[in-house]
Chains A and B, each alone.
With several copies, the nearest count.
Chain A
C-alpha cells in the first residue's frame, strides 16, 4: 500500500496496462513531452516512445474517430481530451460512432477504447474549461461512464476501463489530481458498476461521486457528532449504475441526499432520485429525496463566485440535518 496522488494512480494504471498489453496506446494533445495539461502522462513518452504515446494536432473529432477506428481494428486506445468541455467537439464520434458501431453493425465489431477527460471547476478557468459534463453523455446506450474519487479507485477503475471491450468515458476530477491516498500494490482491478459504501450508516444516505465525495464525508463526520449516522456512498461508475446498492441504502435509511458538482437541472442526480422513487425503496422513504448540486449557471471566473456555485460541506451538512429531522 503506497500513498500516491490521483494523477499518479492514473498514470500507473496506464503504464501497467501498456506493459501488459502491446495493443494499449495513448493519443491526445500534448500528452508527450509536455506530459498532459495536468501532468498525468509525464514521463510516459520516455518509457513508451512516440509510437505508443502519440501527440496529436488540435483536432478532437479526428482524435476520437482515430481511437474508434483503431479500436475497431484490434488496438485498445486510451485517448485524452484535455478538458471534458471539449468532448462537445468530439461528440458525434463518441455518441454516434463509438457508442453505435457495435449495435448498428449487428455485433460485428467492438470498440474497446477509453476516453479520459478531466472535469470540474475550481481552477479559475471559467465557463469553457470547468464544466461537469456527465449528464450530457449518460443518456447514450453503448457508452460506459466512470468518475473515480480516490487514487485507489482511479487506478482500479481505469484498469477495468482499459480492459473493457466497450467505449468508456473516464471522467477525472481536476481538483483531485494532486490529492494523495493509499493505493494497493499489484494488479488490482475494480469492476465497473459497483458503488462503494465509504462509510456505512443508518439514518440517512448521502449518495455522490467525484470531487464532492470528500465534502460528503466531512459532512458525515460532523453529522456523527450530532448523533446522526450517515451512510456515504460513492457511485464511482455512473453507467453501469449500481442501482441495487442505491436502492438498498435508501431502504435502510429512508432518507436520501444526492450530491453532485454538475448543474442541478437535468443533471445526473435526477436519474438517481428517479431510480429510488420508482423502486421498492419508495415505500421506505421518510422524507423527500433531496438533490444538492451546482447552481444552474455557467462557471464564473471570479474565485468567490466560482466557489459559491458548488455544494459546500456546510450546505451538505445543512441539507442532511434538515432531511434527518
Chain B
C-alpha cells in the first residue's frame, strides 16, 4: 500500500483532532459548562477517519449521535463545532442542534441523528437524489451495531439495493448499543452477513486499524459508485460510557482495559514510526497542533454569544 505521506498525516491529524476535541469536551462537561449530554467515540476514531479518508470530497456523509470523529474527519470546522457543542449562536446549527445534531452541509456532512437508525433512510434519499441529478457522488451512511436491529436498517438497505444506489452503509460495531452487547442483540457474530439479505456485498474490517478501514472504504466507494450499495462493517470498541450518564454496570473493567490497549491512535502511530514514515517528534508536533486547534475552538466558542431568544422561532419553516 503506497499512501502519500500527506494523506497519512491528514489521517493522523483528524484522529488526533477528534481525540483532543472529545477530551476537551469531557473537561468542559466536568466544569459544568455543557448543558445536555454527549456520546464519545474515543477508541473508535479509526472508523470515522478511515472512511472519510477513503471517499471523495464531493461525497456526502450522514453521521450518528456518536459523530464527532465522523464530522471532523469529513472536514468540519472545529470552531463552529465546539460553539455548537456549547450551544452558542456561532455554532454550526446556531446553537439549536447541539452535539447530537451536528451538521455541516457545506462540508458534505448532512447531519448527525438522535434517532438510532433514523438517518439511514435519509441517506438513501440523498443517494437517490444523487442518481436522479446525475451527480458523481457517493453517500456514506454511518450507524451502529445497535442501529442494525432497527427496521429502518432493513428497509433502507433493501430499497437502496433494488435501486442500485451509490451508497456505503458503514456500520460502526463498537460492541455495544448502550448497555446491550452486540452478541446479545443479535444471533450472529458478523454483522456483514446481513448484506446477503439484499444481494449486496458485505465487508468486515478491523475498525481499530485506520489503514485497513481506509482501504476498505476506498474499495466500498468504488463498488458503490459503479454497482450499488455495500455494507461495510467496522469492528471496534467504545471505551467511554455510552453517554454522560453511564455507570458501566454492564461490562467488566478488564474488557475495557483490553480494548484500551488496542487504541487506534497508538496503533497508527506505531505503524507510522515502525515504517519510518514519521518521527516521534513529528507525531508530537501533530498532537500539539491538534491541541492548539481545539484550544482555539474552545476560546472561540466560549467567547461567542448565546443565541438571542428572538431567534427561537426562526428556521421552523423555510
Contacts and interface: CB of A to CB of B under 8 A. Distances in A.
Q: Do A and B come from one complex?
A: yes
Interface of A: 25, 29-30, 32-35, 37, 51-52, 54-75, 77, 85-86, 89, 92-93, 96-97, 101-112, 123-129, 141-142, 144, 165-166, 295-298, 300-306, 308-309
A296 to B, nearest CB: 7
A124 B244 CA distance: 12
B114 A108 contact: no
Interface string B81-114: 0001001100111111110110111000011011
B315 A107 contact: yes
Given A69-B126, A75-B132, A125-B98, 20 more contacts: A34-B249, A57-B159, A57-B162, A58-B116, A62-B151, A66-B128, A67-B125, A69-B122, A70-B132, A72-B129, A73-B110, A74-B129, A75-B129, A93-B122, A104-B93, A105-B93, A108-B103, A165-B317, A302-B96, A305-B307
B69 interface: no
B224 interface: no
A193 to B, nearest CB: 11
Given A101-B111, A141-B316, A300 B96 contact: yes
Given A141-B316, A305-B312, A65 B96 contact: no
Contacts of B36: 123-126, 301, 303
B261 interface: no
A133 to B, nearest CB: 14
Contact of A72 (B116, B126, B178, B186): B126
A230 B287 CA distance: 63
B180 A59 contact: no
Contact of A56 (B151, B159, B313): B159
Interface in B130-161: 130, 132-133, 146-147, 149-152, 155-156, 158-159
Contacts of B104: 108
Q: Do most interface residues of chain A lie in helix, strand or loop, or is the interface mixed?
A: loop
B159 A59 contact: yes
B312 A308 contact: yes
A254 to B, nearest CB: 33
B53 to A, nearest CB: 23
Given A58-B147, A106-B94, A107-B94, A65 B125 contact: yes
A157 to B, nearest CB: 17
Contact of A73 (B60, B149, B162, B186): B60
A308 B60 contact: no
A94 to B, nearest CB: 11
A33 B249 contact: yes
Contacts of B205: none
Interface string B29-48: 00000111100000000000
Contacts of A304: 306-307, 309
Contacts of A25: 132
Q: Most chain-B CB neighbours within 10 Å: which of A92, A142, A144, A305? A: A305
A262 B307 CA distance: 22
A295 B314 CA distance: 12
A72 B110 CA distance: 9
Given A103-B96, A104-B93, A297-B313, A165 B318 contact: yes
A112 B318 CA distance: 9
A71 B96 CA distance: 21
B155 to A, nearest CB: 4
Given A65-B156, A103-B315, A125 B307 contact: no
B177 interface: yes
Given A57-B159, A128-B114, A142-B317, A65 B149 contact: no
B220 interface: no
A125 B114 contact: yes
A310 B113 CA distance: 24
20 contacts: A29-B178, A33-B179, A37-B178, A57-B155, A58-B146, A58-B147, A62-B152, A62-B156, A65-B156, A85-B115, A92-B115, A97-B122, A102-B318, A106-B91, A108-B93, A124-B35, A124-B87, A129-B114, A141-B316, A302-B307
A19 B159 CA distance: 26
B141 to A, nearest CB: 9
Contacts of B34: 124
Q: Most chain-A CB neighbours within 10 Å: which of B95, B123, B177, B306? A: B95
A118 to B, nearest CB: 13
Given A32-B179, A59-B155, A104 B126 contact: no
B167 to A, nearest CB: 10
Nearest to B102: A105
B135 to A, nearest CB: 9
A291 B114 CA distance: 31
Contacts of B124: 62, 65-66, 69
Nearest to B121: A65
B98 A301 contact: yes
A126 B110 CA distance: 17
A202 to B, nearest CB: 35
A78 to B, nearest CB: 13
